[in-house]
Structure 1
Amino acid sequence: MYGHGAMTEAELNEKYPNRPHNHSKTLPFHDLYLTLFNPLNENKKKPSGPVTARKKVGPFGAPSTPNDIRRSIIERFISRWRKEVGNDIYPAFRLIVPEKDRDRGMYGLRETTLGKLFVRVMKIDKNSEDGYNLLHWKLPGIKASSAMAGDFAGRCFEVISKRPMRATPGNMTIAEVNELLDRLSVAQKEENQQPIVEEFYKRMNAEELLWLIRMILRQMKIGATEKTIFESWHPDAENLFNISSSLRRVCWELYDPDVRLVGTQRGINLMQCFQPQLAAFQMRSMDIMVSRMNPTEDDPVFWIEEKLDGERMQLHMIEDEEIPGGKRFGFWSRKAKDYTYLYGKDFSDETAALTRYLKDAFNVGVRNIILDGEMITWNPAEDTVVPFGHLKTAALSEQANPYAEGNRPLYRVFDCLYLNDTDLTQYTLRKRREALEASVNTIHRRMEIHEYFEATKASDIEPHLRRVVAEASEGLVLKNPRSRYRLNERNDDWIKVKPEYMTEFGEELDCVVIGGYYGSGHRGGRLSSFMCGLRVDDDIRASSQGTNPQKCYSFFKVGGGFSASDYAEVRHQTEGKWIDWDAKNPPKEWIELGGGWERQFEKPDVWIKPEDSIVLSVKAASVTTTDQFRTLVTLRFPRFKKIRTDKDWKSALSVHEFNSLKQRAETEKHEKQFKIDDARRKRTSRKRKRGLVVQGQDEHVTTPYAGPATKVFEGLSFFVLSEALKPQKSSKADLEQLIKANGGNVVASEKDSKTLLVADRNLVKVASLQKRDERNIVRPCWLFDCIKQGELLPFEPQHLFYTISTDAGKFDDAVDEYGDSYARDATPDELLTLFNRMPSRSIAANDSATDNKSVAYDTPIENGDTISVPQLIEQLHLENQLDTLPGWMFHGVRVYCTGALAETRRRLDFAGAHISEDLDDASLTHVIIPADSARAKEIRQAIASKKRLPRLCIPAWVEDSWREKTRLDEDRYAPP
C-alpha cells in the first residue's frame, strides 16, 4: 500500500502503532490537479502588492493576497481529505511533494528514457514530428510549441493530446497511482517499466499524464513550496521533517494539529536521517572569531580542527540480533542521500566499502550510536588525502576489490550525537567528545576519531593554518567546547577558517543565477555572463509587498572563469527555462534590480526563476558599494569557481546570510575605492548593451554570400519587392536565394499578414503598400545583419524602408541616443559615423603621483570629469571585458615558475603577468610547478611561512586559460 518493500500491513501497524487509518478510499487522482495544482498555478500568475481593483477582498475588508489564497487552496484540500478520506494524508503527500519522499526508491528514469517509453507505448515513429519532439524535448521542435521547449512534461502533453486513450479524466485513485509507482521504482529495466507506463497511458488523459510525469521526474512546480504545504498540515511539520528527513513521519505522527511535538520528540532518532549543524562563515579577524567562542575566565579554551575535503556523513548503528555480528548500520549524507548500500549494512557485508573493517571500532556496551563526521578519500600508497571528487570511485573500487592498494574511503568522526538510547545533542561538545572517545576505537585509515587542538588565544590559530596550507588541506574549523549541537543551523559555535590567498574574499559565495547576458566575439550568440542574486529572507519579504518565497535581489554579474564545459553544463541545466526581459513588464514578483523599476540598472537580457535555475560558487576580491544592484553592494572582480550541483535556490545565500558574512569579511587594504561617475550611471540606466565588436575585424564574421547556410530565418516567409542598394548591391533573385539558403521561405504575395515585406526602392508596388499604411517594409540590410550576427535581430530605425503610422517611434528603443545598436555589432563605417555624432570629451592631465596617464572614457564626460587608467582597468574588470583580452588575462599576477616551462612563461608574459625569479618574493601571487615535479612538498613548506600565500598551480592552468580565453579557477589545477 505504501511501498515499503516487503512490509505487510501487520508489520506497519507494529512499527507505527499510532499511525492514522483512513475510513474511506483515497480521492481520484485527477482531483489533485483539478482542486490543488491548477488553482495554485493560477494563483501564482496573479500580481501581488498593494490592493487594487483586481484583487479580491477577504473577510472584514482585509486584502486576500496570493499568499493567503495559496494557503486557502491547500487548507481546503487538506480539510476535504480529512472529511472524505481520513487523517492519513501520506498517500497524497507522496504525490504532492515527491522529491521529499525518501521511502520510494528512484525510478531510474530521466527524460530521454521516458520519451523512448512513450514513443513505444503510443506506437509512433521516432523519426516522425511527434517522435522527434519527444526525443528532442529541449529543442523548439518540429511544429511544436516553443513554450514547451525544455519542459519535458509539457512536450509530452502536446504529443499525447493528439492521441489520448481517454478524452476525460480517468478513474484511477491516488492509492492506485502510488501502487503502480512503487512497481515502477522496483522495475528499473525498460522492458519491465514499459507495461506500467502503458497502463498509465490507457487509464489517464493527457493532463493526468502530464502531472504523473512531473511526479516521476520530481519536478512538480505546483505554485507552492513544501514549507507552505507542511505549515498548512501541522505547525511542527517542517521541524519534524528537518530532524528526520521522513515525509512518512510528518504525516503519521502529526495528523492532529492540536498535538504538538514536545521534549525528546523534537530530537534525533536512530535510523532517521537529520539535518546536521553547519559551520559559520569566516569572520573579520581571528580575535573576533575567538570572542564568538564565548570564553570565560575559568574556561577560555576553544578547539581547532582541520577542515576536511570530503562529504559530510552521519553513521547510525543499532543492535539487530538477526544479522551476523548483531549490529546494523545506516549511512546518510548531508542531503539525506542513503549511502548504506555503498559503505555497508553490517560487519559481514561482503559488498561493504567500510563496515567490514569496523568489527573492533566500538567498545563493549555500545548498543546503539549516531556519529557525525566526514567521509574522505585516502591514498594508502602516499598516505595522504585525495580530493573529494574521487570519493565514490574509491568506495566502489573498495567494494569490488578490497585487497587492492588503490584509494579507499576513510571516515573521520568528530562528534557523537546519540549513545545507548540517549540523545546527546543537548549536551556540550566537550561532553559529547568524552562519549565519543569512550565509545569508539580508531581503526587505522578506515575509521578514525578526528584530531583537535586546544587553544586559548587568537595567535594560536595561525601556526595550525600554516600547517594545513603546507599540507594542501582545506582549512580549519574553530569550535566552542561549551556549545550544544543545533540541528540544521549555521552559528558561531562552529566557524570555518580558510587560508586567505592574496586579496581574495575569504569565503566562496554560493549564489543563485537570476539573469543572463548574451556575449559577443567568440562568445557571440550565447549567454556569456550571468547575474546572481541573494534570496530575500522571510522577514524582509513580509515587510515588503512581495510574497514570492523565491524573490531575489540583484547582487553581481559574473563572466570570468567559465570554461567551455562549464558553459555547456549551464546550458544543460537551464535549457528552455530562460525568459526574455521585458523592461515594460519586468518580473517584479521574482527579481528586484538596482535603481528601481523606473531605471532598472544592470537589467539582464533574459531572466530565470530561481526554482528553474542553478547555484554558482563564486570568489571575489572584496565587496564594494554600488547603486547598480538592489543589494547596494556588489562583488569586486567576481570569478566563477564551480557549479554547485548539490544545492538549489533554497540553499543559496540569502540577504541576511550575506550581510552577516559581509560584516565579518576583512577590509581589503591598499585598494582604491572605485566610484562610478554620473555619466556612467546615466548610461547603465538605459538598456543594457552588448559588448562592442566591429564587423570586418572578427575572423569569424563572413559575408552573406560566402558564409555557410544557417537556419536564422527558419519559420519566416518573405516577399521580396526590389533589389538591395545598400550596403551592397544585390539583385532580387540574389536576395531570394539568400533567404532560402538561411532557412527562410520566399512567397510571391503579401496576402499573409505574417509575411515580411522587403524593399530598398520605391517601386509602384511598394508605393501602393505604403499608401495603405498597413504593413511595415523592411530593408535588405536587416537580412544581411541577421546573417552576420547569426540571430534574428530587433528592427532598428535604419532597418525600416517604411514604418506604418501606428508604429511611429516603436523601434527607437533598439538604439541609443547616438544611433548605436543595443543588439547588433557595429561596422567600421557605422562606428565612424557614431563617433562623429558624439560631443567632444574632456581629457585632463593626471594629478596622481603614479605614472598612469589619464584617458577619455567611453561615454560623454560631463562637468570636466575624467577617468584614469587604473579606473578604466577596474571598470573593464567589472564589465567582464578585460578578462577576454589575451594581453590582460593574467594582469596582476606575479608568478614564479619551476622547471623548464618556457612556453608557459611566454604565455604568462604576453598575457600581462610579471615573471619573478625569486621564490622568496614577498609579492608572489602564484607558483607554477609541473604536475610530476618532486618539489611540490618542498615548495608548499617554503611558502607556508609567507605572510601572503601564493597559489600553487600546474602549467595546465595557464594552457587551459589560454585556450578558453579566460582566466580559470586555480583550485582545479592544484598539484597532486
Structure 2
Amino acid sequence: MDAGTRSHGKSYNQASQNESNLDEKYPNRPHNHSKTLPFHVLFETLFNPLSDAKTKPTVSAASRRKVGPQGQSNANLSSFERRRVVIEQFIARWRKEVGDDIYPAFRLILPDKDRDRAMYGIKEKTIGKMLVKVMKIDKNSEDGFNLLNWKLPGQTDSSRFSGGDFARRCYDILSKRPMRTEVGGMLIEDVNEKLDQLSNASKEEQQLSILTEFYRKMNPEELLWLIRIILRQMKVGATERTLFDVWHPDAETLYSISSSLRRVCWELHDPNIRLEAENKGISLMQCFQPQLAQFQRDSMDRMISRMGVTEQDPVFWIEEKLDGERMQLHMESDDSVPGGKKFCFWSRKAKDYTYLYGNGLEDPNGALTRHLKDAFADGVKSLILDGEMIVWNSEQEAFEPFGTLKGAAIEAQSNYFVSKRQPLFRIFDILYLNGHDLTRYTLRDRRNALQKSIHPVYRWFEIHPYEEATDKEQVEASLRKVVEEASEGLVLKNPRSPYRLNERHDDWMKVKPEYMTEFGESLDVIVIGGYYGSGHRGGALASFLCGLRVDDAASSPEAKASKCYSFCKVGGGFTAADYANIRHHTDGKWMDWNPKKPPTAYIELAGGDAQHERPDQWIKPEDSVVLCVKASSISPSDQFRVPLTLRFPRFRRLRMDKDWKSALSVQEFVDMQKNVEQEKKQKEFNVENFRKKRVKRATKKPLTIAGYSADAEVKYDGPSGHVFDGLNFFIMTDSGAPFKKSKAELEQLVKSNGGKLYQTNNAAPNTICIADRRTVKAASLQKKGDMSIVRPIWILDCVRQNEIDAGLPDMLLPLEPRHMFFTTPEKEAEVATSIDQFDDSYARDVTKEELSALLEKMCKDNKVDSSRAPEARLRDVVQEKVDAGWELPCGWLFQNLTLFFPTRTEQGVDSEEPEPAGQGYRLPLARNKARFAGASVVDTATDSSITHVVVDSDPPSSAIRSLRKTWSAQASQKIPHIVTVEWIEESWKQRTLLDEERFHPA
C-alpha cells in the first residue's frame, strides 16, 4: 500500500469517526440525500443577485414577465423583498436538489458567524504574498506591486477602481493569468473541507499548498468570492437576520441564545416545527449574543423619556462606559474539576477566552479564576454573568486602554503574586442563577440577585457601580466627570427592563462626550499624511495623519522650513463633500512615503526607525490644509511624536481661514494643557445643541493656578524640621489616597522641612519629581524614561517617620515600591531592596491600617484561618513561606525567643575597666536587632522565660560559672543557652537561626 492510499484511508477513517461523533451529539440532525451544489452556484444564484438587488432595476418587458411568489413583478418589489425572493429561491433549490442540511452552504454564506471553524490567521497582506508566489509573478512588477499594496490606487483603470477592495484587486490580477476561464467543479462540501485544512494549517508552506489547489480548480470569479469568505467580508447586501428569517421563523432567536450556526441549521431544518418555549432561553456553558446599547440620536430629554420613566417611577440608572472587552462568564459547580468549579469565558463575538482567564479555580494558566476562590456566595451552584474585562494598573492606580488587555492577562498568567497590570472583570448583569434564566426579570431584580450572589475580589472581580438619576442635569454632571477622567462615556439604563438578547434597544443607551455639543477638546491641526481606505472608501485617502507645528519652524516670516510632529490620526466625521474639498486644495501636492528616506526635514514620527503610524502619502505643511478636530479628551501615547494624542478624534470642519503658521503649535498645546483643569471648572456644559443659553455669573472668579493664589499664600500648620535639607523638588500634582493634600500644602510641607521648590524638572540638579496623577508634565517625563517620578506619599512618610523618631537625627526614608509613580529600570533594583518579600518596610513603621491589610492579604493568599489571632495567622503564613524555600524575614528571625543581656558587672568585668576600642556598641546593637527580629528582651536573670543569655565575645569563665550556678539553684527554671554576641550578629547576617553550639563562650 503506497503513502497516498494510506493517507486517504486515514482521512476516510477520521471523517467516519467525526460523523459518528456528530450523530451522537445531534441525534436528530438532518442528512442530505445528494451531494452539495457546486460552489459557483453560490455566487451565480445568491451572491451576485443579492448585490444586484441593492438598486432597483429598470422595468423592462422581460422583467415584467418575472413574477414573484405573490404574483408581483420583481421590478415592482422593494429591494428588501427582492432579496427575500433570491434567498427563498436558493433555499428551495437546496432542499429539492440536496436535502434539509443547509449547514455546509450557510458556513460559506455567513462565514463570520461560523464558530466551529477556527480563524485562518491570514489577512490581505499574507494572501497577497501567497498569490504572488502561486502565480509566479515578480513582486516588483506592476501587478505584484498592486497586489501587495492593495489599498493604493493602481495604474490601470481597473486597478484604480479596485483600490481598497482587496478581493476585487485580486480578481483584476487573476483575470490576466487564470488557470481556467470556466467555472470549476468544486462542490460546496469540497470547499469546506479545504477551508478546514486551511484553518488548521500552522505553516505558510501548508497554506500555500492549499491556496495553490484552489487556484488550479477555480476561475477568477470563484477565487474572488473564496477570498471574501476567507477574510469574512462578504458584502452581499443581506444580513444574517434576513437569511435566518427566510430559513426558519425561530432561527434568529436560537442564534441569539446559542451563537451557533450549526444549531440553527440542524435543529430548525423544518420550518413547520417551532422552537419550544423552554428552548428559547439561554443555557449554561452555551455562548449567547448579548444585549447592546443604543446609539444616542436625540436630545437628552427625548432619550430619558424613551426609557420608560413614569411619575410613579421616574428613576433611570447611569453607568460609566468602560474601555474594555465585553465578556460573559459561565460558572457551574463540578466536582470533577480541581477546586470544584468550572468556568467558561466568551467575548461579544463568541470567541472563547477560557484558555486565557481560566477554566477552574486551580487552573495554573488562568489569569483570573485562581483569584475567585471566595468570590461566590454560599449556595451559588451555577450562574452566567455579563460584564466588561478591563485592565487595572496597580502602579498607576488607574485603568488602562483596551489594547493592553491581552498583554495584561498574559502577565497575570505568569506572575501570580505581583503584576503591575492585571485583568479586572467588572460585572453589570446576572442572567442565570442556579438553573433559572433571569433574562425576563427586570434589571433592578437582576441587580439585587447579583449583589447577593457575588463577593467582590478587589481589583480582580468587581460589581460595576451605578447611580440613580431622575433628570438630565445629573447626566450632565456625570458626563463632566467622565470627561475629566478621560473615560469612554456613559450608559443610561432602564431599571424596569428585561434583558434583550442580540438587540440594540432604547432600554440601554450610550452617551459619549464627543457626540455632545460642548464636550471635549477642539484643536486646529495640520494634515501631514494620508492613509488609503478600504471598502467604499477604497482607492482614495480616507484618513489623515495630523501634526502640531514645531515652534521654531514659524518663528519668523522669512522661515522656509516647515516642520511638524505627528500628533493624531483622524478618520471619522468626514462627508463626501469634505473629502472632495480636501482633495481640491491639496491635489498634486501629495508624495508617496519612502520608509528608507523619510521626510524628516518636514515631518517627525514616533519610534525612530520604526516610524510609528507611518502614512501611505505625505504632504509638506505649507502645501497642506488645517482641520478643526474634536475629541473627548487627551491621553498619553507612544505612537505619535508628541507624547500625547487625541482620544476618539472626529473631523469638524476645514479651516480655510488658517494656514500652517497659524495652526496649533507644540508649545501652544503644552501651554493649553497647563490650564485645562481651570478651563473645565469654568466651562459650562450644554448638551442640547445650544438650546439652553448659558447662565451668566454675577461675579467672575479670578483665574488661579493649582497651588498658588493671587490674594494670599497657603498657610501651613504641619511639622517642621530638616529632613529635606539640600534637596530640590518639582511637585506636579496634589496627593491622592490615603492622605489627601493639595499641591500647595505639599510644597509648604517641603519648604518647612528644608527643601527647595522648582517649577520645572531641569531647573536644579538632582531634582526629585513628585506626581500622583498622569498629567501632561508627568506623562512627558515618563515618556522620556530617564527620570523616576515619586509619589507624594514619600514626602508624608518621611515627615511622619521623623516625628516618630523625635530626638534622633533627621533621616530620609529609602524609596519603596509604594512610593513610586514611575521607576526607571536602573532604579527598580534599588527600590525593591527596601522591603521584604511580604512588602514590609525595613526602615519605616507601618501604620495600623497597612499592617491590617498586610495580614489580610497574607491570610487570603495562603488560605489561613481568619478567625485565629493575628499573631498566630502571621506565624502560619511565614512558616509556610519558609517551608516553600523563601528566606526568613529579619522581623521573624528571633520570634518566640526570650533573651537576657547581662551587664558587664554581671559578666564579672570591672565596670571601671575601659572597653576594647570599637566594642562598646556591640551588645546594645545586638539587643536592638534581637528586638526588631521578634525576640523578647528581659532585664533580670531570674526571669523564668529566658531561653538565651547573650554575653561578650570573651567573658571571664568565672562569670559563666556564676550564671550557671544561679539558674541550677532554681529547680523550676530551665537552664538557658549561653551564647556570645556573635550568634546574634551572624544569624542576622545569614538570615537564619544558627546552631548555638558554635557560639558557646570558651
TM score, norm. by length of structure 2? 0.52
In the alignment, structure 1 segments of 5+ residues that lack a partner are 509-558, 580-605, 607-612, 617-638, 645-651, 655-683, 711-788, 791-823, 826-875, 902-919, 944-950, 959-974
Residue 27 of structure 2 corresponds to residue 17 of structure 1: yes
Amino acid at match of 1:274: Q
Return the letter of the residue paired with 1:427.
Y
Q: Is 1:238 aligned to residue 252 of structure 2?
A: yes
Q: How does 1:449-528 map onto structure 2 within 5 Å?
A: 449-453=463-467, 473-474=487-488, 476-496=490-510, 504-505=517-518
| Cross-structure match for 1:514 | none
- Whether 2:112 is the aligned partner of 1:99: answer yes
**Residue 137 (structure 1) shift:** 3.2
In 2, the alpha carbon distance for the partners of 1:93 and 1:121 equals: 29
CA contact (8 A) 1:342 1:396 kept: yes
The CA deviation at 1:923 is 10
Contact 1:430 1:482 in 2 (8 A): yes
Cross-structure match for 1:35: 45
The AA in structure 2 aligned to 1:90 is Y
Give distance in 2, aligned partners of 1:7 and 1:202: 30
Taking a change above 3 Å as real, the CA distance of residues 193 and 708 of structure 1, as seen in their structure-2 partners, is: closer
1:113 aligns with 2:126: yes
Report the Cα distance in structure 2 between the residues aligned to 1:210 and 1:401, rounded to whole angstroms: 46
CA deviations 1:280-323 (Å, max 9, x no partner) are: 649756898489463564x6655454443333222122455554
Aligned match of 1:881: 656
Tell me, yes or no, if the aligned pair for 2:33 and 2:99 is still in contact at 8 Å: yes
Quote the offset at 1:27 in angstroms: 1.4
- 1:276 matched to 2:291: yes
Partner amino acid, structure 2, of 1:310: G
Q: Size of the alignment, in residue pairs?
A: 620
- Counterpart of 1:590 in structure 2 is none
Matches within 5 A, 1:676-825: none
- Which deviates further from its counterpart, 56-65 or 100-109? 56-65
Q: What's the offset of the Cα at 1:184?
A: 0.6
In 2 relative to 1, CA 480–77 (structure 1 residues): closer, same or farther, beyond 3 Å?
Answer: closer
Contact 1:894 1:925 in 2 (8 A): no
Offset at residue 183 of structure 1 (A): 1.2
CA deviation after TM superposition for structure 1 residue 6, in Å = 12
Q: For the structure 1 residues 942 and 246, does the alpha-carbon distance in structure 2 shift closer, same or farther, using more than 3 Å as the test? A: farther
Greater RCO, CA 8 A, separation 6+: 1
Give the CA deviation at 1:413.
0.9
2:538 aligned with 1:577: yes
- In structure 2, relative to structure 1, the CA distance for the partners of 1:708 and 1:685 (3 Å cut) is closer
* Residue of structure 2 equivalent to 1:647: none
Q: State the partner residue of 2:415.
A: 401
Correspondence for 1:81 among 90, 94, 97:
94
Cα 1:456/1:79, change in 2 over 3 Å: closer
State whether residues 424 and 432 of structure 1, in contact with CA within 8 Å, keep that contact through their aligned partners in structure 2: yes
In structure 2, how many angstroms separate the alpha carbons of the residues matched to 1:55 and 1:305? 54
Moved more, 220-229 or 80-89: 220-229
Please say if residues 411 and 448 of structure 1, whose CA atoms lie closer than 8 Å, have aligned partners that are also in contact: yes
Describe the shift of the 1:139–1:479 C-alpha distance in structure 2 as closer, same or farther (beyond 3 A): closer
Shift in Å, 1:55: 4.9
Looking at structure 2, the residues matched to 686 and 320 of structure 1 have their Cα atoms a distance apart, in angstroms, of 59
**Aligned letter for 2:28?**
N
Aligned to 2:270: 256
Over the residues paired in the alignment, what is the CA RMSD in angstroms? Answer: 5.5
1:440 and 2:239 aligned: no
Q: Do 1:278 and 1:494's aligned partners in 2 also have CA atoms closer than 8 Å?
A: yes
Distance 1:391 1:221, change over 3 A: same
1:231-630 correspondence runs (5 A): 231-270=245-284, 271-278=286-293, 281=296, 284=299, 289=304, 292=307, 294-295=309-310, 297=312, 302-320=316-334, 322-453=336-467, 473-474=487-488, 476-496=490-510, 504-505=517-518, 568-569=530-531, 571-573=532-534, 577=538
1:174 maps onto 2:183 in alignment: no
Q: Write the deviation string for residues 464-514 of structure 1: whole angstroms up to 9, x where unpaired.
A: 66766665555554544333222344445445566799x835699xxxxxx
Structure 2 SS opposite 1:410: strand
Give distance in 2, aligned partners of 1:392 and 1:165: 43
Partner of 1:954: 776
Structure 1 residues 71 and 481, CA, compared in 2 at 3 Å: closer, same or farther?
A: closer
Q: Distance in 2 between matches of 1:288 and 1:140?
A: 43
| Cα separation, partners in 2 of 1:575 and 1:393, compared to 1, 3 Å | farther
2-side partners of 1:257 and 1:653: how far apart? 45
198, 208, 212: which is aligned to 2:226? 212
Report deviation, 1:251. Answer: 1.4
CA distance in 2, matches of 1:931, 1:182: 61
Structure 2, unaligned stretches of length 5 or more?
A: 1-10, 546-566, 594-617, 625-650, 677-698, 709-728, 744-772, 781-820, 823-1002
* Structure 1 residue 176, shift from structure 2 partner: 1.6
| Whole-angstrom CA distance in 1 between matches of 2:239 and 2:513 | 38
* Counterparts of 2:95 and 2:411, CA distance in 1: 50
Q: Match of 1:39, as an amino acid?
A: P
Report the alpha carbon displacement of residue 188 of structure 1 after superposing the two structures with TM: 2.9
Aligned-pair distance for 1:430? Answer: 2.6
Normalising by structure 1, we get a TM-score of 0.53
Measure how far apart 1:23 and its partner are: 2.0
Of 72-81 and 133-142, deviating more is 133-142
Q: Secondary structure at the match of 2:345?
A: strand
- AA aligned to 1:367 is K
Match of 1:156 in 2: 170
Shift in alpha-carbon separation, 1:125–1:303, aligned structure 2, 3 A: closer
SS of 2:125 mapped into structure 1 = helix
The structure that has the greater radius of gyration is: 2
Tell me, in whole angstroms, the C-alpha distance in 2 between the residues paired with 1:283 and 1:685: 25
> Relative to structure 1, is the Cα distance of residues 322 and 923 closer, same or farther in structure 2, using a 3 angstrom cutoff?
farther
Q: CA deviation at 1:180?
A: 1.2
One-letter identity of the residue aligned with 2:31: H
Distance 1:257 1:931 in 2: 74
Compute the displacement of 1:113 (Å): 1.2
Amino acid at match of 1:294: V
Q: Deviations over 1:727-760 (max 9, x none)?
A: xxxxxxxxxxxxxxxxxxxxxxxxxxxxxxxxxx
Task: Render the CA deviation track for 1:548-583: whole Å, top value 9, x for unaligned.
Answer: xxxxxxxxxxx9877768x645x244597259xxxx
Distance across 1 between alignment mates of 2:544 and 2:273: 38
Asked whether the equivalents of residues 332 and 338 of structure 1 are also in contact (C-alpha less than 8 Å), the reply is yes
Deviation, structure 1 residue 93: 0.8
CA gap 1:165/1:435 in 2 versus in 1, 3 angstroms: same
Structure-2 residue corresponding to 1:933:
732
CA distance in 1, matches of 2:464, 2:43: 51
Question: Cα 1:941–1:195, aligned 2, differ >3 Å: closer, same or farther?
Answer: farther
Q: Distance in 2 between matches of 1:175 and 1:926?
A: 71
What's the CA shift for 1:686? 15
Q: Take 1:481 and 1:708, find their aligned partners in 2: how far apart are those partners?
A: 55
Q: Could you tell me which of 52, 56, 74 is aligned with 2:64?
A: 56
- Cα distance in 2, alignment partners of residues 689 and 302 from structure 1: 44
Deviations 1:375-399 (A, max 9, x none): 2211112433234343333223223
Structure 1 residue 182: Cα displacement? 0.9
1: CA distance, partners of 2:406 / 2:703: 36
SS at match of 1:104: coil
What residue identity is the alignment partner of 2:90? F
Residue 142 to residue 350, structure 1, CA distance change in 2 (3 Å):
farther
| Contact 1:363–1:438 under 8 Å retained in 2 | yes
Given residue 293 of structure 2, which amino acid in structure 1 is its aligned partner?
Answer: L
**Structure 2 counterpart SS, 1:71:** helix
- 1:413 is paired with a residue of what secondary structure? strand
Q: How many Å separate the matches in 1 of 2:730 and 2:113?
A: 44
